[in-house]
Amino acid sequence: MAVSGLLFIAFVLAHMYGNLKAFGGEDSFNTYAEHLREIGEPMLPHEGALWIIRIGLIVALVVHVACAVILWRRAAAARPVQYAVKKNTGSSLSSRTMRWGGLTLLVFIVWHLLNFTIVKVNPSSGETGDPDHNPYALMVDSFDLWWMTVIYLIAMLALGMHLHHGTFSSLQTLGWTNTATSRARARAAGWVVAIVIAGGFALVPLSVLVGIIEK
Amino acid sequence: MAGSTLHDGTTPLNAAPNQTSDDAHGYYTAGDPIADPVAPTGPIKDRWTNRKFENRLVNPANRRKLDIIIVGTGLAGGAAAATLGEAGYNVKSFCYQDSPRRAHSIAAQGGINAAKNYKEDGDSTFRLFYDTVKGGDYRSRESNVYRLAEVSANIIDQCVAQGVPFAREYGGLLDNRSFGGVQVSRTFYARGQTGQQLLIGAYQAMERQVAAGTVEQFTRHEMLELIVVDGKARGIIARDMVTGEIETHLADVVVLATGGYGNVFFLSTNAMGSNVTAAWRAHRKGAYMANPCYTQIHPTCIPVSGEHQSKLTLMSESLRNDGRIWVPKKKEDCTKDPRDIPEEDRDYYLERIYPSFGNLVPRDIASRAAKYMCDEGRGVGPMVGDFRRGVYLDFSDAIQRLGEDAVREKYDNLFDMYERITGENPYQVPMRIYPAVHYVMGGLWVDYHLQSNIPGLFVSGEANFSDHGANRLGASALMQGLADGYFVLPNTIRDYLADGPFEKVDESHEAVVEAKRAVQERIDKFLSINGTRSADSYHKELGNIMWEYCGMERTEDGLRKAIDMIRELKADFWTNLKVLGSADTLNQSLEKAGRVADFIELGELMCIDALNRRESCGGHFRAESQTDDGEALRHDEEFAYVAAWEWGGDSLEGGQPVLHKEDLIYTAIEMKQRSYK
Amino acid sequence: MNLTLKIWRQAGPSDKGGIHTYQVQGISEDMSFLEMLDVLNEQLNEKGEEPVAFDSDCREGICGTCSLMINGEAHGPEVTTTCQLHMRSFSDGDTITIEPWRAEPFSVIKDLIVDRSAFDRIIQSGGFISANTGSAPEANSVPAPRDKAMRAFNVATCIGCGACVAACPNGSASLFLGAKITHLGELPQGQPERYSRVVDMVGQHDHEGFGGCTNIGECASACPKEIPLDVISQLNKDLRTALKNGY
Ligand SMILES: Cc1cc2nc3c(=O)[nH]c(=O)nc-3n(C[C@H](O)[C@H](O)[C@H](O)COP(=O)(O)OP(=O)(O)OC[C@H]3O[C@@H](n4cnc5c(N)ncnc54)[C@H](O)[C@@H]3O)c2cc1C
Ligand code: HEM
Ligand code: SF4
Ligand code: FES
């Protein structure tokens, strides 16, 4: 779980970096999108590297979700009778909402892929398949809609929270937080990763909405 | 006997006692004198080595066929279960708690003694032996004590190998401290939780044997009867405290390691569940109870705060190293804020009376002095009954001298505990302390092999009387429990078991059926009296009687009065008790009733024993026996004996205990009167 | 002070159980929480109602027998055991809800008493150092670095109370487990069995039906002995090393 989670973190970091190319304008962003497909050529076929990453992510997702389901079921089985009154005194909200947050992310990922990768639905025009091969335009069209931005921002909130605990948790799971200092560092890393990633992702749609980024 | 030679060629240094007083006349029957039938002979330092060799062995293949019941999982019982399990016997272990790890040994704070002489400060086996006999006011058996000192070093080796995290020095070697007023540093410790760490070591060793299949553990099981068949201990009747089932467990040998009975005083530093039932049931089946009146009262406990109090909490003795004990000189100051009482109006009474030892006088002296101050009306803290029961233990000098940080480093956890319980901050206001019952030196009589007078019944740890005489040195009970469990019992029980496996006893044997029926009847009786008072209320009342008349200071009149009061209480208990619920579920009131019934009978015997012993020795102070300046006065010529009491029937039906005396003969040590002035 | 108590009552393991409400009067703030319950029980006994069953023994915070979920917190609002919790932590007129530890492996025996024998079985599976009596070398022949010995001691103070399980939203016993792994793993004597121990103990923990750890941290904040969360990290580290080395 920790390994797949860290893989996700690496992926979303790279992904976010790519998204920020949107501030460089249409060409910069589209070149990046195209470049993604050309990594490793000619040793790998077109989109070869991308597929390797995709497969890696799919495997990680399956592992991650499978682990999550097992943990969830074990937790439910371990406490069949709930407390009438239960206070939480030592945990963050994010740590207690990993499962629901994760589920939110899963739903979001499905929609996200439909939106930008698989079906390429352009919610403003209703057309699919991105006939112009212009990912930049698709993105700007999408985020010009306030409700798309809201969905996206909610998802980023979920992601931020998931990562706030997830970063610390994965370091703890891997046994790297054996002292009070290293634990404090891991907690701090959780904040940094959460803010950088969720914040970084959120910049683009917000900028589109307020018009800093436009077609 | 002085001047003559014993059969081993040694010369006794003391004479056999000859009692002239008879204070307990009319309360007891005189029985025949007894002696330890397996007492070792020869030079004291070779006795144990020789005995280990002489004791017969049990073929490893036979061990599996031998069943051993061990009641108790404290240091004494847990260590024995582990060791006998490792040896390959079939062990059944019982405790009333929900896990063996919770036995009351866990609460010991200060440390454990061992004659390692790591500090090169002149310690040795002989010195530890000497200190222990002297500390016990020459009322223990020298061979037993010597053996204890001898195996003490092995205990530390064993515990370290098990992973007990003793305090260490920077170089990684073990640290020692001096404890309880002795002049050498021989106490090994794990901060203030030594008992916990030692017990967890023994517990883990025992759980390992559970996994290996040699030990079967029965938790939440209370032993309610001993089964004696043809004169031999052959098993126990126990109640499964969850289902209420009355179970029969049979074996070739039974070990009682059931701890002390300090709870006869209701308020003590013992655990709520500590009880005398196992020992008392054995006593009623014929086992002698030795020196039951020897009680240790610890001077530094947190005082009683009110009627509701359910137990008392010990504060480590180490506090007396830096704290100064005082009470106001004037009675009218007792309700003032202590910080407003000027220096000249304070009475640092220990420093005044005992200038050379000051605040570090032995436990019994410090305790008694506190009682006198309070009896004079100079106690502090809340009124409990007619008196304020507390004296100040003041750290302001230490804080000034060493700085608050240094004091904090040494005592922080104790100060925290104090503040949690009392709500007062001892860095700002002096602590209040008062003595409380802490340990009992008396217990079931055993011989050198730790076998009682019932063949096949062995008794170890605080439950026996063997090693501490009339008083116990700090950090020596843990040592004794582990010595008995790891090293002594395994080497003595084998001599008994070499004759086994004994003829099989069937559950339908008349003695077994009878024992089970007796237990069932008693339970039915408790549930059917249907009176008005809870067992707890009787326990409180008994405790008050014991504390008042058989506590720190005992008098002839007081003890007689106490015996009468206890008899009345007993009669009332059996007619007016109220126990709700049923016998076939967990029922804490029922458990309590059984324990209180036995405490009442024990209390009566303690008073009779105290009444008979018209001398002051160790923890037993008879007001009639003191020097001109109020110090304890021993009478060796009359009382250098073990009082072993045989059950003589219920006093309400005219029964009287029978007194058997075992002379204490010293060949390696000369008896001396204590002096701490 | 006067209090309203809402207490879980359950006649036996198979009874359904439910919350009952009682009033107690004249509670002094110097009483411990359990002494307050003693008062209630004495009162119930007088009325002919069976007293509330709850566990306690040493009443000084060391044996680990006492339990109780008090107003949703294991061992109540202070960092201590229930037996060392005093009534000055409450105020007149308070309503206090008292429930047993809740976890599948800790089944309710009666009222507030649960069965914690699973902890013994976890220790049986490997929570020891195999050193038969008599086989030990001289104690000072193996020095143990002081800092490691201190860490071992700090975590060996676990009293096996089960508050960590009770507080954990996952019903995991990882703090208890980690404390033992760390205690024995920090000492030179614990090395030979270090990796088989962690694998066996984790296996038994899971087998007992405790939940998996997701590092939430409720356990450490409920623990009366302040066992830190890093013992779980140590547990994970040892487990990873063990699995890598084929244990
Ligand atoms: C607060 C405190 C601090 C102390 N500090 C020190 C110290 O620093 N150094 C020192 O040397 N000594 C100290 N002592 C004394 C020492 O701890 C005890 O004397 C010693 O631990 C007793 O061990 P034990 O094995 O004989 O009995 P215990 O540890 O009391 O064990 C008794 C066992 O018997 C079982 N049992 C009892 N009755 C029954 C029954 N009827 N049926 C089934 N099981 C039963 C119990 O379940 C338990 O397992 C201290 C004592 C107290 C109370
Ligand atoms: C697909 C939807 C997802 C679901 C259902 C999900 C669910 C979970 C759950 C239940 C946990 C619990 C473990 C814990 O609380 O520590 C978890 C941990 C974690 N998740 Fe996710 N998650 C999802 C997506 C993601 C994504 C997209 C990332 C990274 C960007 C991520 C990173 C992490 C990390 C790092 C952990 C900590 C792992 C550990 O402690 O071992 N997760 N996830
Ligand atoms: S880790 Fe803490 S909460 Fe858990 S059992 Fe040990 S002492 Fe109790
Ligand atoms: S009763 Fe022993 S820890 Fe609370």
**How many CB pairs (< 8 A) connect B and C?**
215
Q: Is the pLDDT of residue B460 over 90?
A: yes
| Measured CA angle at C240 (ends C234, C241), to 5 deg | 90
The closest CB to that of C221, out of A71, A90, A98, belongs to A90
Domain span(s) for CATH 3.90.700.10 in chain B? 298-438
Q: Which residue has the tokens 């917190």?
A: C73
Strand B295-301 to strand C73-74: parallel, antiparallel, or no bridges (unpaired)?
unpaired
Phi, psi of A138 (to 5 degrees): -60, -45
Domain annotation for chain A: domains and CATH numbers = 2-210 (1.20.1300)
Averaged confidence pLDDT in chain B: 95
Pick B318 or B380 by higher pLDDT: B380
A74/C221 Cβ within 8 A = no
Q: Which ligand is nearest to the CA of B98?
A: 1
Q: Which residue has the tokens 């490793």?
A: A40
Q: Which residue from B583, B592, B551, B573 is spatially nearest to B650, judged by alpha carbons?
A: B573
Share of chain B above pLDDT 90, in %: 88
User: Torsion-angle region of residue B21: left (phi > 0), alpha (psi -120 to 50) or beta?
Assistant: beta
Distance CA C217, CA C211 (A): 14
Through-space distance between the first and last CA atoms of chain B, rounded to whole angstroms: 32
B173/C143 Cβ within 8 A = yes
Mutate to test the interface with A, among C172, C175, C207, C233 (most CBs of A within 10 A): C233
Residue B4 pLDDT: 62
Q: How far is the CA of B104 from the centre of ligand 1 (A)?
A: 4
Residue A25 pLDDT: 86
Q: Which of A149-153, A189-193, C66-70, C136-140 has the lowest mean pLDDT?
A: A149-153
**pLDDT tens by residue, B263-320:** 999 999 999 999 999 999 999 999 999 999 999 999 999 999 888 899 999 998 888 8
Q: Does B99 touch chain C (CB under 8 A)?
A: yes
CA-to-CA dists, residue B76 to A23, B199, B463, B468, C22, angstroms: 76, 9, 9, 15, 42
CA-to-CA dists, residue B141 to B126, B362, B620, angstroms: 14, 21, 18
Through-space distance between the first and last CA atoms of chain A, rounded to whole angstroms: 40
CA-to-CA dists, residue C243 to C198, C240, C246, angstroms: 10, 5, 5
Q: Which residue from B205, B341, B224, B346 is spatially nearest to B276, judged by alpha carbons?
A: B224
Q: What global pTM score does this model have?
A: 0.96
Q: How far is the CA of A106 from the centre of ligand 4 (A)?
A: 46
Q: Which of A28-42, B534-548, C8-22 has the lowest mean pLDDT?
A: A28-42
Residue B516 pLDDT: 98
Q: Is the pLDDT of residue B482 over 60?
A: yes
* 8 A C-beta contact, residue B206 and residue B93: yes
Distance CA B301, CA C160 (A): 26
Would you kindly state where each structural domain of chain C is located, as residue ranges? 3-110, 116-244
Tell me which residue has its CA closest to atom 38 in ligand 1. Answer: B258
Distance CA B206, CA B185 (A): 30
Which residue type is seen at B267? L
**Domain C3-110, CATH number (from 3.40.50.10440, 3.40.630.10, 3.10.20.30, 3.40.640.10):** 3.10.20.30
pLDDT tier, B2 (very low <50, low <70, confident <90, very high otherwise) = very low
> What would the CATH number be for the domain defined by B298-438?
3.90.700.10
Residue B307 pLDDT: 86
CA-to-CA dists, residue A79 to A28, A82, C55, C207, angstroms: 53, 7, 21, 15
**pLDDT tens by residue, B62-72:** 999 999 999 99
Tell me the average pLDDT across C126-130: 98
Q: Which ligand is nearest to the CA of C64?
A: 4
Sequence-ordered strand ranges (E) for B139-265: 187-188, 215-218, 221-229, 232-240, 246-250, 253-256
* Closest approach atom of ligand 4 to CA C56: 1
Residues within 6 Å of ligand 3 by CB: C 158-164, 175-176, 179, 222-225, 227
Distance CA B302, CA C84 (A): 13
pLDDT tier, C35 (very low <50, low <70, confident <90, very high otherwise) = very high
Tell me which residue has its CA closest to atom 16 in ligand 1. Answer: B477
Q: Is B77 in the pocket of ligand 1 (CB under 6 A)?
A: yes
Min Cα distance B189 → chain C (Å) is 11
pLDDT tier, A118 (very low <50, low <70, confident <90, very high otherwise) = confident
pLDDT tier, B484 (very low <50, low <70, confident <90, very high otherwise) = very high
Min Cα distance C4 → chain B (Å) is 19
Residue A137 pLDDT: 87
Alpha-carbon C95 to chain mean position: 25
A neighbours by CB contacts (3+ pairs under 8 Å): C
Tell me the average pLDDT across C202-222: 97
Domain span(s) for CATH 1.20.58.100 in chain B? 510-646
Residue B1 pLDDT: 46
CA B236, B240, B244, B249 dihedral sign is negative
A179/C73 Cβ within 8 A = no
H or E element in which residue B61 lies: helix B60-63
- As given in the structure block, the two tokens for residue C37 are 């319950």
Tell me the average pLDDT across B544-566: 97
Q: Is the pLDDT of residue B106 over 90?
A: yes
Tell me the average pLDDT across B371-375: 93
Q: Is the pLDDT of residue B195 over 50?
A: yes
Residue B11 pLDDT: 81
Distance CA B509, CA B623 (A): 51
Distance CA A130, CA A111 (A): 16
- As given in the structure block, the two tokens for residue A193 are 């990763």
**pLDDT tens by residue, A127-185:** 887 787 888 888 888 888 888 899 999 999 999 999 999 999 999 999 999 998 999 99
Q: Which residue from A140, A119, A142 is spatially nearest to A131, judged by alpha carbons?
A: A119
Sequence-ordered strand ranges (E) for B593-667: 641-646, 658-663
Q: How far is the CA of C227 from the centre of ligand 3 (A)?
A: 7
CATH class of B510-646: mainly alpha
Q: Which ligand is nearest to the CA of C63?
A: 4
Interface of B with C in 546-585 (CB under 8 A): 578, 580-581, 585
Taking CA atoms, what residue in C is nearest to B104?
Answer: C58
Strand B29-30 to strand B215-218: parallel, antiparallel, or no bridges (unpaired)?
unpaired
Strand C95-99 to strand C113-114: parallel, antiparallel, or no bridges (unpaired)?
unpaired
> What would the CATH number be for the domain defined by C116-244?
1.10.1060.10
The closest CB to that of B163, out of C30, C50, C189, belongs to C189
Residues within 6 Å of ligand 4 by CB: C 56-59, 61-66, 81, 83
Tell me which residue has its CA closest to atom 7 in ligand 2. Answer: A102
